[in-house]
């Protein structure tokens, strides 16, 4: 392999060789993804064509009127979901620098980015048409989030990116789906939009889960160590958003996404990858394996502690005009 190829992406020479060795898997998984998806566009959900008729105007009026009944806990979750989705430039960059700009990695990154770009568009169309927020305040948060950057400390380890995306895509799917369910009886269009986003995240999760599984097969010891570091220090991609801690605490208390759901994700992946059954590992690999298998019980204790210590308190956010949210 040329020096240029080795320097075009992050990772040790052994890691880059592994990434090259699974390119067939990446291409196959991308083909499977395209076969399974049904491509949709934001305008399919919230049409804004110039020739819309009176029925469309009436539907928009219905959405706007019904949306007034959405509780502020749901509004906070929608805001956090939207801000996170609009962090897409950060995520495209991270995939490009960790995995390089040669096919099939770049082909996947471009396809994934095109699909993800619709998420922020669709959700922004909804919240704007439904008049859900003080949009000026929300836009300031979005601007500051992009300006602040998103630079997780992965130490130029491409395995950590793929481990992280496996966890994060499932977490985002759950957050969108649970937020949508809370909207369903009040304003069904919100659930429809969020369900489309959750469906995409589920398919993206399956891609990253399969690709990291291929890395575990080819380079198990290093992959287990990378997975352990990510799993123990997992943070949702929006954690650089101003006020993120307060927003995520509302989401946790509303049971939209919390440590118990993260525990379920970790358990699902440990089972899917058969981490507990892996053998012929180095001492470092066995140590990482042992620690990974203990993570779910650690997360369960954390959830119990959070629940026991969560006294009711007020949260306030400018994008809902400073109203108090008590949980």
Residue 276 is part of a domain; what is its CATH number? 1.10.620.20
Residue 1 located in a structural domain: no
Q: How far apart are CA 208 and CA 158, in angstroms?
A: 12
**Residues spanned by the domain of 81:** 10-47+61-326
Residue 38 located in a structural domain: yes
In this predicted structure, what is the pLDDT of residue 89? 95
In this predicted structure, what is the pLDDT of residue 105? 96
Residue 3 located in a structural domain: no
Residue 53 located in a structural domain: no
DSSP character at residue 241: S
Largest CA distance in the chain: 69
Q: How far apart are CA 92 and CA 281, in angstroms?
A: 33
Residue 2 located in a structural domain: no
Residue 54 located in a structural domain: no
pLDDT along the chain (327 residues), means of 10: 51 94 98 96 95 91 97 98 96 94 95 98 97 97 94 93 97 98 97 98 98 98 98 89 96 95 97 98 98 97 90 96 95
Are 176 and 194 contacting, i.e. CB atoms less than 8 angstroms apart? yes
Q: How far apart are CA 159 and CA 227, in angstroms?
A: 8
Number of domains in the chain: 1
What does the radius of gyration of the chain's CA atoms come to, in whole angstroms? 21
Residue 163 located in a structural domain: yes
In this predicted structure, what is the pLDDT of residue 4? 34
Residue 306 located in a structural domain: yes
């Amino acid at each position: 392999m040329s020096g240029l190829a080795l320097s075009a992406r992050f990772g040790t020479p052994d890691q880059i060789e592994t990434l090259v060795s699974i390119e067939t898997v990446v291409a196959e998984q991308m083909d499977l993804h395209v076969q399974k998806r049904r491509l949709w566009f934001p305008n399919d959900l919230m049409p804004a064509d110039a020739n819309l008729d009176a029925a469309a105007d009436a539907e928009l009026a219905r959405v706007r009127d019904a949306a007034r009944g959405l509780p502020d806990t749901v509004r906070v979750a929608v805001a956090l979901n939207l801000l996170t989705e609009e962090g897409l430039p950060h995520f495209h960059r991270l995939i490009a620098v960790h995995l390089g700009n040669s096919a099939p990695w770049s082909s996947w990154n471009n396809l994934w980015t095109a699909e993800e770009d619709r998420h922020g568009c669709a959700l922004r169309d909804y919240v704007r048409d439904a008049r859900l927020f003080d949009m000026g305040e929300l836009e300031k948060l979005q601007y500051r989030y992009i300006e602040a950057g998103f630079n997780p400390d992965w130490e130029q380890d491409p395995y950590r990116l793929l481990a992280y995306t496996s966890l994060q895509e499932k977490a985002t799917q759950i957050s969108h789906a649970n937020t949508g369910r809370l909207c369903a009886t009040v304003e069904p269009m919100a659930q429809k939009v969020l369900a489309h986003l959750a469906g995409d995240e589920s398919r993206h999760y399956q891609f990253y889960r399969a690709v990291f599984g291929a890395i575990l097969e080819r380079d198990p010891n290093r992959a287990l160590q990378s997975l352990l570091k990510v799993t123990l220090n997992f943070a949702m991609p929006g954690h650089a958003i101003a006020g993120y801690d307060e927003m995520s605490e509302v989401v946790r208390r509303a049971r939209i996404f919390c440590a118990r759901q993260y525990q379920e994700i970790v358990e699902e992946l440990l089972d899917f990858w058969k981490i507990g059954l892996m053998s012929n590992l180095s001492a470092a690999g066995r140590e990482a394996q042992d620690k990974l298998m203990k993570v779910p019980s650690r997360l369960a204790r954390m959830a119990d502690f959070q629940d026991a210590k969560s006294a009711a308190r007020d949260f306030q956010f400018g994008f809902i005009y400073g109203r108090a949210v008590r949980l």
